[in-house]
């Protein structure tokens, strides 16, 4: 399902025009990204937990050239679905 279909489905559920549903969705996405951009974790009950994890720097070796390279540390986003969501998917 793409973004447009999702907005249509949301609009039907919220009983509002698609344009309004799109605005609400955009607000959600902005708030999500702002919170996660600050490096905070975010738990949404019934859905799951978004967490910004710091991956440490590490050394990799190119097996062909034997060249060693340092991979810089980076921040990665991880998502853990809630048990409710997991159960729904399993069904």
Window 35 to 74, contacts with its own copies (CB under 8 A):
35-37, 39-47, 52, 74
CB of 53 to its own copies, least distance (A): 10
Angle at 51 between CA 47 and CA 53, to 5 degrees: 155
Binds its own copies by CB under 8 A, chosen from 19, 55, 60, 79: 79
Close Cβ partners of 51 (under 8 Å, ≥ 6 residues apart): 41, 42, 77, 78, 79, 80
**What's the DSSP call for residue 56?**
P
Smallest gap from residue 63 Cβ to its own copies (A): 25
DSSP secondary structure letter of residue 58: E
Q: Could you give the string, one character per residue 11-40, with x where binding to its own copies holds by CB under 8 A and - elsewhere?
A: --xx---------xxxxxxxxxxxxxx-xx
* Strand-pair category, 42-44 with 48-55: antiparallel
Residues of the shown chain interacting with its own copies in the complex, contacts defined by CB under 8 A: 1-3, 6, 9-10, 13-14, 24-37, 39-47, 52, 74-77, 79, 81, 84-86, 88-91
């Amino acid at each position: 399902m793409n973004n447009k279909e999702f907005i249509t489905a949301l609009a039907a559920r919220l009983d509002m025009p698609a344009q309004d549903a799109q605005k609400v969705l955009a607000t959600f996405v902005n708030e999500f990204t702002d919170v996660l951009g600050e490096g905070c974790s975010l738990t949404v009950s019934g859905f799951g937990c978004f967490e910004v994890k710091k991956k440490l720097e590490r050394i990799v070796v190119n097996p062909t050239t034997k060249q060693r390279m340092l991979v810089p540390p980076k921040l990665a986003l991880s998502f853990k679905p809630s048990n409710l969501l997991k159960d729904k998917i399993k069904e």
